[in-house]
Structure 1
Amino acid sequence: MIARGAFIHELEAQRTRGQLAGGMDLICTYAGARSYLLARTDLYSDRNHDFIVTSDWPFNLVRQYGATLVDSEARTSEVRRCLQAFEPMFQEIDASVDLSPEYARRMCLIPYNAGQARMLLALLFDKDASVSHDRLRDVALATAYHTAQFPEIVSNNYALSDLTVREVECLSWIGEGKTSDEIALIIGISRNTVNNYITSIMNKTGAKTRSEAVAFAVRQRII
């Protein structure tokens, strides 16, 4: 198992090389884990997996369980989230989830904040793995440090790279106080299509209301 000093040195080297996934692989190894999933819980959407930043979980497990796991964390109250930040917790994987037999069904969850983002690291271990709580505390801090070095991951515009021209147009009209019916008439599309654009905008920005989406877009100078 990699020593603490060597771990810190190599993690810094991964940061210098701009290797997010490489650093996460190293963190996973230091923890004694078999695989990891890193997600932004503030970007959770049940329509896609854009909230997953990087992962080496088996694909079927990400598809089957990733959304359920992150949804649970996303619904956590702000007070509880503050109290649990950087604190490793263990959770049993539901028996209905198809998991390869070499994995333990008890995973480690580490919620934390990095920049403007609310993050969650989920670690899977081998059945016979020996888990060090001291190392997991190191992992919590190291993961926060490592991900904070990648502003494109932890900034508020992380999910905006695929905001379409039409979505920005709808967002601009919302900012002008227009309703879905009015926007549909102005742009020349159906009301349902406008609402689909608005739903997509809110998923990508993490906004809960139209007003939040507009405020976010103004702060980011999108509109």
Structure 2
Amino acid sequence: MDISQADIAVWPLPTAPTRARGGGFSREQLLRRLGEVAGRGALGSGLSALTEYVGASHYLLARYDLSQDSGLDHVVCSDWPFDVVRRLSGVITALHAKTTELEKCLAVLQPCFHALPDNTELPRGISREYCAITFNVGRLRFSLMLLVPEDVILSQESLRDVTLLAGYLASFTTRAEVRHDRDFELTERELECLFWIAEGKTSEEIAVILGISRNTINNYITSVMRKTATRTRSEAIAYAVRNNLV
């Protein structure tokens, strides 16, 4: 996709001061810089510009919906120190496991601050609290995490600018980079079960409708909850509704 500076300029950014608190340049300068990197699909350069604009020091963009993975496969692009990223991986997994589907929906576009583990070694002058903002690009959920200097207070309005533009960057620069693992795609049978669950049907009723055993239905439902990182049927339904699956 070819994106020009004019394309970026039409985004409905909220009214904010021309300079983010702690940032290094104005919104107009930010849009010009993004216009320069957009055509090249340079996600790292774009995220670096957003990070500097808001006054943060380092960025990490992750696939939030893949944070149940072991390892660092969910990291899309980052300039965080590797040891910090490795420690953060466990933190993300723990947060994801404890968060309900409703809480995940309410957290979208809302900046949250979390503390890194005490034994994490950070660059000198960097706060132990990082800022995390989740946003959706189609059915994919991303989290932008920012390390911040100790003496900087991030502007909420500038964070909103950054979140909208990070989603915009991710929408056209991660197509070739984001992992499309079939383990996280629902099969036709799983989608059928999800549909009937949303209709209020029990496993026994779905088994009669689809002509297969109740145990097989339960296996499909278990697989659905594993792939969607949900813990109950209600959460699975909420996930399906949010992602237009039913």
Task: With the length of structure 2 as denominator, give the TM-score of the two structures.
Answer: 0.60
Query: 2:50 & 2:97 partners in 1: Cα distance?
Result: 23
1:61 counterpart (84, 89, 97): 84
How many pairs were matched up? 169
Query: 1:46 & 1:140 partners in 2: Cα distance?
Result: 24
Query: 1:14 & 1:29 partners in 2: Cα distance?
Result: 15
1:3 counterpart (20, 26, 32): 26
2:116 counterpart (68, 82, 93): 93
Deviation at 1:16, TM superposition (A): 1.0
Deviation at 1:138, TM superposition (A): 0.7
> CA RMSD of the aligned region, Å?
2.9
Aligned partners of 1:113 and 1:144 also within 8 Å:
yes
Partner of 1:102: 125
Cα 1:15/1:42, change in 2 over 3 Å: same
Cα 1:87/1:153, change in 2 over 3 Å: farther
Query: 2:101 & 2:228 partners in 1: Cα distance?
Result: 15
> What's the secondary structure of 1:104's corresponding residue?
strand
Partner of 1:207: 227
2:139 counterpart (104, 116, 126): 116
Equivalence map 1:15-34=2 (5 Å):
15-34=38-57
Aligned partners of 2:67 and 2:96 also within 8 Å:
no
Bigger drift between 61-70 and 140-149 goes to 61-70
Cα 1:73/1:139, change in 2 over 3 Å: farther
Cα 1:208/1:118, change in 2 over 3 Å: closer
| Alpha-carbon displacement from aligned partner over 1:13-65 (angstroms, at most 9, x marks no partner) | 21111101111111111111110111001112443211000110001111122
Cα 1:41/1:74, change in 2 over 3 Å: farther
Partner of 2:149: 126
Are positions 1:79 and 2:102 aligned together? Answer: yes
| Alpha-carbon displacement from aligned partner over 1:147-172 (angstroms, at most 9, x marks no partner) | 011252687xx244xx8xxx9xxxxx
Query: 1:151 & 1:129 partners in 2: Cα distance?
Result: 30
Deviation at 1:8, TM superposition (A): 1.6
Query: 1:74 & 1:5 partners in 2: Cα distance?
Result: 39
Query: 1:145 & 1:52 partners in 2: Cα distance?
Result: 18
| Alpha-carbon displacement from aligned partner over 1:165-209 (angstroms, at most 9, x marks no partner) | xx9xxxxxxxxxxxxxxxxxxxxxxxxxxxxxxxxxx9xxx8369
The one-letter code of the counterpart of 2:56 is: A
Cα 1:47/1:73, change in 2 over 3 Å: closer
Task: With the length of structure 1 as denominator, give the TM-score of the two structures.
Answer: 0.66
